[in-house]
Structure 1
Amino acid sequence: MSTIEQIAAALQGYDPKALPAGHVNQFLARLVEPVAATETVGVFAALGRVLAEDVVSPISVPPHDNSAMDGFAFDGAALRPGQPLALQLAEGTAFAGTAWAGTAQPGQCVKIMTGAIMPTGLDTVVPLEFVKVDGAQVTLPADVLQRGDNRRLLGEDLMAGQPALRRGQTLGPAALGLIASLGLPQVKVFRRLKVAYFSTGDEILSLGEAPREGAVYDSNRYTVFGLLTRLGVEVLDMGVVRDEPAALEAAFRQAAHEADAIITSGGVSMGEADHTKAMMKQLGDVAFWRIAMRPGRPMAVGKIVHPHAPPLRGSLHPEGAETGLGRPGAGLAEENGKSAVLFGLPGNPVAVMVTFLAFVRPALQRMMGCTDSEPLLLKARSAEALRKKPGRTEYQRGIVTRAADGTLHARTTGNQGSGVLRSMVEANGLIVLHHGQGNVAVGDEVDVMMFDGVI
């Protein structure tokens, strides 16, 4: 893993005090490395996992020429332009799952069901609704189909020996079905990424604590837990860590021992009167950024080193103990050199979610072994005028709808304050106004990052 200094030297124009949002992902792509360990899992356990090797098809799909329709199979060479075709119906029916036992003679057709193997010598299927049947005679109207119609060819979907799925793909429901269709009961995937998370600050209340003046209940812990769970990583919930050097040191060391990555919220702003930044510097190689973005300007990234601290036990989920420090790892320290990638996020609730979606999520996906991790941006027409100065990237909470003509339209949720968490609930995406972009007029095209399937 490269050091912060090495990465900074390789990036032209790198300035941690005024970092364009577009440079953040470039930096993180150099900082993080995919996990190396793999495991073999059954198909039912593979949903959301990342393939560690290509899945090569042991069979052809389909394994034989077969009918795509219920109808009558015949030799398409008999078709003549502008002329109907009369055929004699052979005895028996070709059903899916078994080969038809007969032999079709010239001028004959065979009744066939969808998925049935094409009888030898026959290459075309006419659907039932196209023909007239009179006893044993089947008549096709002129010019209703061409030779080879309604026939699925052997290997049309996939030929034996070809890659069906590629290393680095995240397995969705369709991929599970494809794997099963090849007769494969198991696949090799990268081991599940482990991410430790805790909130910092003496003003943070955990659920169950009585309200007190100047304190707020911790929402970040739960939104980040949801984001990480949606991503498919193993979440090590470490609760709320007080702004005390000993508590912070224990938390960081334990997180580095247990996890591949550490996410914190709070304590990274300029002039913060707490010990979080100092402890990050003391225990690791960390850069502190002021990103040219809104919301979410402050962020810390780097790596935290674990100096053989003994494991401390705690909860894995928000419903567990509110101040636990995670559970012991399973040999992870030896694999990652007893260090973990750090993502120190700002404390404001919306800023936490935006920085996670824009930067942390793609970085974690790379660590998971994904080959395609960049956020997908769609185009929409702005339904309102948006004020924007060039020189920073803005992520405005948006509501995206589809007009009658099929085009997407986006409007904001209103108040864009970084503490207005309700706006993230109302929104279904982020309107992304890029670094060099200025004011947006009604009807102008804007990029949107949709939430569906992500949060």
Structure 2
Amino acid sequence: MIELADARRTLLAACPSIAPVALPVARADRCVIVADVVATHAVPPFDNTSVDGYAVQAADTVTATQDQPVHLDVLGSVLAGSVADRPVEPGRTWKVMTGAPLPAGADAVVMVERTSARAGSQLGAAGDQVAILAPARSGAGIRRAGSDVRTGETVLAAGTVLRPAHLGVLGSVGAREVLVYRRLRVGVLVTGDELVTDGGELRPGQIHESNRAMLMALLVRANCEPMDLGVASDDVADLEQRLRHAMAACDVIVTSGGVSMGDSDPVKAVLERMGRLNWMQVAIRPAKPFAFGVLDGPSAPVLVLGLPGNPVSSLVSFELIARPALRHMMGHVEPYGPSVLAIADEQLGRPLADGRTAFLRVLSRIGPDGRVHVRPVTGQDSHQLSASASADALAEVPDDRTVQAGEDVLVYPLS
């Protein structure tokens, strides 16, 4: 057996690279930026108003109070997208809407709540008058040009994982496309003669197929584009034909089943026939068997990841081994998920020395102490998916160790 860290390093070193692509900003959420994005203009590009109100010369408002307001002549209204056709002079003002360019000559904006229009006012019409009820300091109510982004500034650095707010930043600097590592096209192929896919009655020795929908959903959460390759029999020729067909459309193929120690495990046999095979016994519980190969696709190398068939083993090996590989290929500087030092509310682990680190499925909560607390779900065997479905994290328990209630334990959030 090899340690999990060594298995991960071996796999990441073998992962083929993918070429960057230019994607429309609206389609780039959660993708990784390839190159720095530099602003070609300032944001905002001009001085503008941050409130609805009146653009004034602050000196005109120094004596303004509720009881003795200052009255100013209104030159008209400036909406967002329009421009004042003459400057503000002493004793005069423009009514302005939020986002409107600041009229020349003005050095402050009095918000409308601190003004009063005379009865019958046309709300900003030229020739009207407004009463200023409080003094305004110079600069009040104004967003200066470049106060968010300066021309030539790097707004997003290479390696940034785009989130919705980043997409807004790209829009603000006029970017319509962004160079990113694209989403991987990942095929999911489940193997096993015993699997029933139509929900029909089971014959002796058969089970309902359960891994395919789970893996497809995990791939969506990993920001990949999953492709359903169906369920293959344990016939080596059939499996090889399916894999060769999938290589034309996929960057990665994820298989489930057929990678354990059995004499007739087909995925191992096919990968050995088709090219390079790396078969590992990883020192973790569950999900010890794992296989991968890099095959020569028609246009680019294709990575094949062979997960074990037991449902929980398939889930855990995807989270701990396959997902980091996919993230690495999509440009993530940190391919591994976050970990949290939590407190065990119940005993975790088992007094079994088998050379493997246990990853127990646990439920987490934030305690009154502000820390993460976890407790195990009922049913920790590799086939007990219904019990594991409620878990939201994996707790790492070293070999031959029991974590007692109240002790610290390292946990990894799921998905």
Q: What range describes the TM-score normalised by the shorter chain of this pair?
A: 0.7 to 0.9
Deviation for aligned residue 1:423: 2.9
RMSD: 3.5
Distance 1:278-1:152 versus aligned 2 partners, 3 A rule:
same
Give 5+ residue unaligned stretches, structure 2: 119-129
- Structure label with greater radius of gyration: 2
- Aligned counterparts of 2:397 and 2:348: Cα–Cα separation in 1: 13
**Cα shift at 1:345:** 0.8
Whole-angstrom CA distance in 2 between matches of 1:263 and 1:237? 10
> Deviation digits for residues 186-217 of structure 1, max 9, x if unmatched?
34444542222212222222225541112211
Pick the aligned partner of 2:47 from 52, 65, 78.
65
Please give the residue correspondences for 1:236-275 in structure 2 after superposition, counting only pairs within 5 Å.
236-275=227-266
Task: Tell me which residue corresponds to 1:219.
Answer: 210
Structure 1 letter corresponding to 2:9? Q
Partner Cα separation in structure 2 for residue 385 and residue 180 of structure 1: 51
- Secondary structure at 1:400's aligned position in 2? strand
SS class of match (1:354): helix
Contact 2:56 2:94 in 1 (8 A): yes
Does residue 1:31 correspond to 2:14, yes or no? yes
* Equivalent of 2:365 in 401, 416, 430: 401
The equivalent residue for 1:361 is 323
How many residue pairs match? The answer is 398
Alpha-carbon offset, residue 35 of structure 1: 0.6
Residue 186 to residue 415, structure 1, CA distance change in 2 (3 Å): same
CA offset at residue 252 of structure 1?
A: 3.4
Q: SS of the residue aligned with 2:321?
A: helix
Distance in 1 of aligned mates of 2:91 and 2:99: 23
How far off its partner does 1:127 sit? 4.1
| Alpha-carbon separation, structure 1, partners of 2:90 and 2:333 | 54
- Paired with 1:227 and 1:440, the residues of 2 have a C-alpha distance of 29
Structure 1 Cα separation of the partners of residues 282 and 35 of structure 2: 37
Counterpart of 1:351?
313
Q: Give the secondary structure class of the aligned counterpart of 1:340.
A: strand
Contact 2:379-2:388 at 8 Å conserved across structures: no
Is the contact made by 1:362 and 1:373 (CA closer than 8 Å) also made in structure 2? yes
Q: 1:21·1:435 contact (CA, 8 Å) conserved in 2?
A: no
Q: 1:423 matched to which residue of 2?
A: 387
| Cα distance in structure 2, aligned partners of 1:393 and 1:24 | 13
Q: What CA deviation, in whole Å up to 9, does each residue of 1:341-375 have, x standing for no partner?
A: 12111111111111112221121122233444331
Distance 2:88 2:350 in 1: 73
Instruction: Give yes or no for contact 1:395–1:430 (8 Å, CA) kept in 2.
Output: no
TM-score normalised by length of structure 1: 0.74
TM-score, normalization by structure 2: 0.80
Pairs within 5 Å for 1:29-428? 29-36=12-19, 38=21, 40-74=22-56, 89-91=72-74, 92-105=76-89, 111-129=95-113, 131=114, 133=116, 136-140=130-134, 148-208=139-199, 210-305=201-296, 333-334=298-299, 336=300, 339-387=301-349, 392-403=356-367, 407-427=371-391
Q: Distance in 1 between matches of 2:131 and 2:61?
A: 16
Secondary structure of 2:217's aligned partner: helix
Q: Is the Cα contact below 8 Å between 1:20 and 1:435 reproduced in 2?
A: no
The letter for the 1-side match of 2:321 is F
Q: Report % sequence identity.
A: 33
Distance 1:268 1:151, change over 3 A: same
Partners of 2:384 and 2:109 in 1: CA distance: 61
Report the CA distance between 1:122 and its aligned residue: 4.1
